[in-house]
Amino acid sequence: MRKHSLLTATALGLVLGSGGLGTQALAETSISTATTTPLVTSSAGDLTVTSDGSITLTSGTAITVDSDNSLDFEGSIAMSGSESSSTGILITDFPDRTKGLVLTGDITVTDDYTASDTTSLDGTEDGYTDAPWAEGTGRYGIHSTGASPFVGDVYITSDSVIDVEGNQSYGIRFENQIKGAFTYDGAMTLIGDNSTGISLEKGVTGNVYLSGSVGVLGANASAITLAGDLGGNLIIDGSYSGTAYSSTSALTQAVYENLIPANNLLQVGPLVSIAGNVANGVLFGASVTSTDDSNTDEDGDGLTDTVQSTASLTQYGSAPALAIGSASSDITLGGLTYASTAIDPPSVNYGLLNRGSIGAYGVHPGVNATALQIGGTGYPTTIENGIGNAGSITASSYGGNATAISLLSGATTPRLDIDGTVTATTTRYLTSAEDADGNTVYTVSNVGEATAVSIASGATLPAINVAASSGIYASSSGSTGSATAISDTSGTLTSISNSGTISATITASDDDGDGTTDTITGKATAIDVSTNTTGVTITQTDNNATDSDDDEAIAAPYIYGNILFGSGNDTLSSSGGYIYGNVDYGAGTGSFSLTNDAVYLGKLTSSGDIAMDIDSGASAGLLAGSSVRMSTLHVGSDSSMALTLAVDTPTVPILSGSGAVAFDDGAKLYLTLDKILSTPTSFTVLTGSSISLGDMTTSTLDGYIPYLYHSDLTLNDTDTVLTANFRLKTQGEAGYSSNQYAALMPVLVVVAEDSGARSSLLAATDKDAFDQVYNQYLPDYSGENLISLSVGSASLNRSLSNLTLIPDNNGGQYWLQEYGYAINRAYSDTAGFKSTGFSFAGGREKQVYGNQMVGTYLSITSASPRDTFALAAEGMSNSDLTIGAYWRLNTSGLKAWLHAGAGYDTFKSTRNILTTTVDHVATAKWDGYSVSAGTGASYDFLLGKWAVTPEVLADYYQLHENDHTESGGGDYFDLTVGARDGHLLSSTALLNLSYRTSFLKPEMWVGYKQNISATLPDTVANFTGGDSFTLVGGNIEGGGPVAGFRLSADNPYSYFSIEAEYQELPEYTNTSVSLRTRFQF
């Protein structure tokens, strides 16, 4: 038997059993061993094949039922490698038959062929199995023929396994009507083009229950085809899959370019087709969780709950997973009925109800996917009482169109109720190639549209209802893709009710390979009813309580994406929840209502009169481009309206009305701008027959407008025109530091050209929010590098002060220090910063003149300053590598020392702005040099084991930074920063108290440090092509206290200490911990 990786079946069994006695009295035959002889009931009489019995053939028919005799089948039919037209069980036309059918056994009717990887476009194997999938034709597992109906129930048990291979072949085929019920619960594998797993062609008078599993592989192959009328209900809870692909996963471009589509990318037929009337409706079932042990049918579908499973339809290809409609006659799906045992049955007896999963996947580039398709066959398809979805319906494509629910011409149903999910997704297919110059060129080869619910012209669907915690989703991955959650071109959809989610989204992509996502040009549409001429009512309701944690966990309803109305009288109302997207009332009139804390944000447009009401804590935000003709406007006392004014057309009102405009006491009006405004401007905000602002403060709108600006409101003499007067705030009004104000205009120039940054800056309505955005545009200018690196030289000076011994070994000694520190400069006139760092130094010294030493040293100082407003991705790093020399003197009480060095310095910076609308990262590297020196003296006064040591020190550090230009942030964020020169000269006076024990020496000191002369360099910077601005580092001269503690151990051969110190200066503080040691060899 040939196997395929896509299709597997468990080895269960097949039994064919009989009902009552027939009219013939033939002998009984029992088969309990292997045989190669075909069996015919007209000769064998009542036939029994035990579990040990088997029939093995290579052609013809294993068992022919041509009489009214019984068949008890528990064995197997093995027809592997059989010829065309081979059949496992053949039921011929016998008008007087009265027997039913129960099968429990295995039927294998396969070819002698194994598909393989034969060739590809380049003539080599491509790693994927090639079609054809089967050889031969006309093989059957079970085949019932003739014009006479099959009388009795048909039951294929869960122990059945049917494996058929061949083109134009069938697992189970009834060409005649079944007068009875049909139940399938087996496992079936079918391989071959134009083949069908289960085909019931003339209908079934009773109920049809399809469970178990069916897997098909082949071009135009189907799992289930129901062509005739069904007199009862149709319940499907099996697991069915179909494909004709070599791979059900997307492949690489290189593989696609080498595949032969006719070998590897064939298209399967509809997975499940319903082309006849179904009297009592169609149910895709789900497993039942019991709540009452005494009730065996809690869902009321007529089946025992414990044997039910959850329906799963998985289709790989362009044909629908579920197709409903007939090309030869009108069909109707009647309403489902439920037994009295049902616990909480649906309130609507839907003609089609899905509780399982229906999924269609195009998989490969440019292949469309449709999960559920109704109509479109040329004859009407009616689904009584509506369609319900309590499970999932999903369509996904790779550069093709994806449609989850498609109602085509002729489809008619009164409602679509969503209590689960309906999802359509598509991803663009991007290819690359090298041009003549060797450059990589990217091309979007396939881009599709995702549509969750599509109602085509000629279809009829008046209402869609989405329940809480349910949703209709459409998404497109690719900047040029399109996504539509609900699309109606029939003009029949008049009511949409949402308590869950209706969402259409597009994810931007990088289609040209430049490392930056492209601007989205596709359309994300939540609801498109633009062809409607009679009017549509869209109602969103948040009807969930909030008095428990479980209730709070239920998401508020929302509509995400554009809403497009037609030319009728349309209504959009939201009682709670969110609506994000543009709303266009088209040529129609209507109403716009928000209550119960509902939120709207988007561009609102209309050419006809719209009555607007925002009340009960609701808020409406009208974005740039909004233009509404309103009949009336009311904003309630605890509600708000936010309007985006157009800088280019300040005299054109956003809201122009012929009726009254009323803001109740407590109502709020927020205003923002669509562009950066640099000159004072008056805007016509709205007009009406009368305008009442309630108790709104009109002299200033601080807190309700962008922080950049000052604005006030004025009404004309007749209270019919509301005007807002905007200007930039003065430095005093805004509380800008001198540095912030110096950069203001250059920053506004670049922000004006960057839509994302502009949105973020204009969204800031208070100083804190403004600083978080604005300060990201400024370079470091607070002396971060000079202050952070200068402490390295100062720490070296302290190490020299701690060297206590002049060795007399003529060999000298070595010393090391590790100094860690944290500096904090507060935000004031400068941005301020925090910096952590370390300084590692070591030296070698040699004795001269008995009480003096000379030596050399090497020090490495490195720090990571972060300014006050730095984001997580931001930061700086600097390092100083200094080499120098020193001299020191140590007499019985007096110590003195001095050092000097020169260093090479390197710097790196990352500057980032990150908000919901903008993400820029600018980086830079540069270098420089330093000169450092220090001196000091101390004297020990011994008092027994105590010692008092006054000490004075002086430190000098000079730093030069070369100019540098950032990259990566774009022309509207990258800065060029000029060269900088600065220095710091400080002195320190300390008084040290120590106590010497036999081994350890604890010390503590207090003192005062004074920055005598300090020049923090001005920072001169400019954006690409822009004017330069100067930021002043500020004055850090002045002094403050110093305190510290040290624990040391000293002997003639070595020294070790650990110490901590705190310095508090007027402009910054320094907290440090250090380790110091010396040793001789």
Residue 284 has pLDDT above 80, yes or no: yes
Q: What is the pLDDT of residues 230-265, one digit of tens each?
A: 999 999 999 999 999 999 999 888 888 888 888 889
Q: List residues bridging with 865 in a β-sheet.
A: 835
Better-predicted residue by pLDDT, 46 or 493: 493
d(CA 904, CA 860): 10
Indicate whether 667 pLDDT > 50: yes
User: Residue 196 pLDDT > 60, yes or no?
Assistant: yes
The predicted-structure confidence for 608-652, as pLDDT tens digits, reads as follows 999 999 999 999 999 999 999 999 999 999 999 999 999 999 999
What is the mean pLDDT of the segment spanning 518-524? 91
pLDDT tens for residues 47-88? 888 889 999 999 999 999 999 888 888 899 999 999 999 999
User: C-alpha distances in angstroms, 599 versus 469, 604, 618, 762, 882?
Assistant: 18, 13, 6, 20, 61
Closest-CA residue to 1048 (of 1020, 1075, 1021): 1075
Strands ordered across the beta sheet of 29-31: 29-31, 47-49, 71-73
Query: Residue 7: what pLDDT?
Result: 37
Q: How many CB atoms lie within 10 A of CB 544?
A: 18
Q: In this structure, what token pair is assigned to residue 945?
A: 């084991």
**Tens of pLDDT along 733-763?**
999 999 999 999 999 999 999 999 999 999 9
Q: What is each CA distance from 222 to 167, 170, 961, in whole angstroms?
A: 12, 10, 74
What digits encode the pLDDT tens for the residues 533-567? 999 999 999 987 565 666 677 789 999 999 999 99
Percent residues over pLDDT 70 in the chain: 96
Tell me what pLDDT residue 869 has: 82
Q: Residue 827: pLDDT above 60?
A: yes
Stated pTM of the model: 0.84
Contacts by 21-27, CB closer than 8 A, 24 or more apart: 22/67, 22/68, 22/69, 22/70, 22/96, 22/97, 22/98, 22/99, 23/68, 23/96, 24/67, 24/68, 24/69, 26/67, 26/69
Q: What CA dihedral angle connects 882, 883, 889 and 894, to 10 degrees?
A: 10
- In the prediction, which pLDDT does 129 show? 87
Q: Left (φ > 0), alpha (ψ -120 to 50) or beta: where does 294 sit?
A: alpha
Residue-range domains of the chain with CATH: 29-292+307-430+458-609 (no CATH), 619-729 (no CATH), 773-1079 (2.40.128.130)
Task: Dump pLDDT digits (tens) for 198-238.
Answer: 999 999 999 999 999 999 999 999 999 999 999 999 999 99
> Per-residue pLDDT tens for 447-476?
889 999 999 999 999 999 999 999 999 999
Q: Tell me: the pLDDT tens digits for 397-411?
A: 999 999 999 999 999
588-619: pLDDT as tens digits:
999 999 999 999 999 999 999 999 999 999 99
At 539-548, the pLDDT tens digits run 999 987 565 6
What does the pLDDT look like over 1012-1054, one tens digit per residue?
999 999 999 999 999 999 999 999 999 999 999 999 888 877 8
The dihedrals phi and psi of 263, each to the nearest 5 degrees, come to -100, -30
- Return the ∠ at Cα 577 (arms to 576 and 579), rounded to 5°: 120
Write the pLDDT tens digit of every residue in 130-150: 889 999 999 999 999 999 999
Q: What is the mean pLDDT of residues 503-515?
A: 89
Joined tokens for residue 469 = 């915690």
Phi, psi of 237 (to 5 degrees): -135, 25
Residue 17 has pLDDT above 90, yes or no: no
> What pLDDT was estimated at residue 305?
86
The alpha carbon torsion through 248, 252, 257, 260 (nearest 10 deg) reads -20
pLDDT tier for residue 807 given thresholds of 50, 70 and 90: low
**964-973 pLDDT tens trace:** 999 999 999 9
Mean pLDDT of 756-784: 94
Contact 978/1021 with Cβ under 8 angstroms?
Answer: yes
Rg (CA), the chain: 42
Rounded to an integer, what distance in angstroms lies between the CA atom of residue 237 and that of residue 135? Answer: 31
Query: The tokens of 1062 are what?
Result: 């705190």
pLDDT at position 18 is 35
Q: Within 13 Å and on the Cβ side, how many CA atoms surround 556?
A: 13
Lookup: tokens for 374: 């109704």
| β-pairing verdict for 628-635 and 610-614 | parallel
Confidence at residue 548, expressed as pLDDT on a 0 to 100 scale: 61
Give the highest mean pLDDT range of 300-304, 339-343, 431-435, 721-725. 721-725
* Distance separating the N- and C-terminal Cα atoms of the chain: 84
Q: Does 424 score more than 50 pLDDT? A: yes
Strand order in the sheet with 411-412: 331-333, 381-383, 411-412
Q: Which pLDDT belongs to residue 810? A: 65
Confidence label for 189 from pLDDT (cuts 50, 70 and 90):
very high
Token pair recorded at residue 667? 């109502």
Q: What is the mean pLDDT of the chain?
A: 92
932/8: higher pLDDT: 932
